[in-house]
Amino acid sequence: MLKQGLELKQTQKLSPLQIQTIKLIELPIQELEQRIRKEMEENPVLDEDQPKEKEEDEAPREVSLSEYKEDDAIPSYRLRSDNYSKDERPQYNTFSVKESFTQSLQEQLGYRNLSERQFTVASFLIGSLDDDGYLRRSIDGIVDDLSFRANVETDEQEVLDMLKIIQDFEPAGVGARDLRECLLLQIKHCKRTPEVDNAVRILTNYFNEFTNKHFHKIMTRMGLSEEELKAAMAKILKLNPAPGGQIDDSYTDQAQQIVPDFLLEYKEGELKLSMPRFSIPELRVNRKYADILLEAANSSEREKKEAAAFVKKKLDSAKWFVEAVKQRHNTLSNTMQAIVDYQHDYFIDGDETHLKPMVLKDIAEKTGFDISTISRVVNSKYIETHFGIYSLKYFFSEGLENQDGEEVSTRELKKALLECVETEDKRKPLTDDELVDRMTGKGYKVARRTIAKYRDQLGIPKARLRKEL
């Protein structure tokens, strides 16, 4: 028997404007510029508004769609978005580090007298190197891939022969299969001296003792004095463990450019926050398409009606996009201002001890935005201050109580921990338990596991691995 009933469900759908805004909020300023340029290419209704000389009281040019007779006519809206200052951003040419490194090796390969088959095998090996210049894949796996991908039947010996050729390339150490081989490849390029000879013996015969800093064992087994061991260690420590990162400084300077999304200035005792416009274009509607829609509103011709429908769709899209850019600006501005207000004392002098514990929820409560919105704003955004450029994530940290019961930022604790490690006796580094005692003496109440966690986050090795001669 069939039964009929009613079921009530509540669903929430995002409007096109909300979807656009969410997507734009996540973008840093460089990607926003690209996104706007792409939208202008895809939507002929959008044009870049070229600044013109006009009187201050002159109103910006607008397009009114109130003349349309359709019931669902597009409402009028502001077509210009004066969201940013007029600052111009210098243009930076960026380069891919990996590509330049690979191209350098390929160029060196071209100078070798190789057969077509050998060249193919060597090129495949170069393509198999990681960003640090290491070959971390097995020789067997490379032989199989050459057979399936390049249709080249080879064997391990031929691959190893080509690998030796690559290992002779610059930078020294490229093509190594582990750290030990990388360091040996580099030090063999050094001029023969007693220190270099001792360094080669250490890397060849006592690498495990070297990595575990068992210096006494090395001195005993090699019959070296402490000064001789120090000289050999100094040679090893000058070597580069990541030869793939050795590229021209001009590439590095260009590749590491960061364009801040916010600018914070400290003038006359006040903090002034702004959002530089850089090369973000101001948008306006192309009046030609608006005229097409106006002309077709009273026309009964099918083609004109279709043209009007197309233009109306593009105008809708333009409206949502312009409004989304405006809302992005307001959301980012309000969020960043809330962060500045919350961390006011820190932004005055940049002293990490003034950095308060702060989580996403704190800023969400101050702004009225959702935590997910704050997370999108913070992601991949930077601010330029009078004491440096920082990621917005830098200002967020949890808190712990000190011995006085006051809540302090975990970043302050990490700074204090780092100071303890930097001032320790390197011949007898402090253990985690001893670091707990040091931190307690500084007024911080932390457990041993907390010290271990922060030490790992700071990239500080265990006491045994921090030992020096």
Which tens digit of pLDDT belongs to each residue from 124-145? 999 888 888 899 889 988 888 8
Residues 326 and 350: their CA atoms lie apart, in Å, by: 31
Give me the percent of the chain exceeding a pLDDT of 90: 12
Nearest to 45 by CA among 328, 319, 323: 319
HSE (CB half, 13 Å, CA atoms) of 404?
6
Q: What is the mean pLDDT of residues 295-310?
A: 67
All structural domains of the chain: 16-49+61-86+273-390 (no CATH), 97-245 (no CATH), 398-466 (1.10.10.60)
Nearest to 146 by CA among 129, 116, 122: 122
Buried b (16+ CB within 10 A) or exposed e, 348-362: eeeeeeebbbbebeb
pLDDT value at residue 56: 44
Q: What is the mean pLDDT of residues 400-420?
A: 73
Q: What is the mean pLDDT of residues 296-322?
A: 72
Give residue 91's pLDDT band: very low, low, confident or very high (50, 70, 90): very low
Please count the other Cβ atoms lying within 10 Å of the Cβ belonging to residue 30: 19
pLDDT value at residue 415: 82
Burial of 308: CB neighbours in 10 Å, binned 0-12, 13-18, 19+: buried
pLDDT value at residue 349: 86
The DSSP bridge pattern shows strands 270-274 and 399-401 to be unpaired
Please count the other Cβ atoms lying within 10 Å of the Cβ belonging to residue 110: 10
The alpha carbon of 423 is separated from its chain's Cα centroid by a whole number of angstroms, namely 32
Query: Across the beta sheet with 388-391, what order do the strands follow?
Result: 270-274, 262-267, 382-385, 388-391
User: Tell me, what DSSP letter sits at residue 173?
Assistant: T
Nearest to 386 by CA among 253, 262, 255, 223: 262
Residues 126 and 102: their CA atoms lie apart, in Å, by: 7
Give residue 8's pLDDT band: very low, low, confident or very high (50, 70, 90): low
- 81 near 113, Cβ under 8 Å? no
pLDDT value at residue 404: 61
Give residue 403's pLDDT band: very low, low, confident or very high (50, 70, 90): low
pLDDT value at residue 250: 43
**pLDDT tens profile 221-232:** 999 898 899 898
Between 108-112, 117-121, 241-245, 363-367, the lowest mean confidence (pLDDT) is in 241-245
Average pLDDT taken over every residue of the chain = 78
Q: Is the pLDDT of residue 67 over 60?
A: no
Please count the other Cβ atoms lying within 10 Å of the Cβ belonging to residue 378: 20
pLDDT value at residue 163: 92
pLDDT value at residue 336: 93
* Predicted TM-score (pTM) above 0.85: no
Give residue 289's pLDDT band: very low, low, confident or very high (50, 70, 90): low
Q: What is the mean pLDDT of residues 209-217?
A: 87
pLDDT value at residue 436: 87
H/E stretch holding 275: none
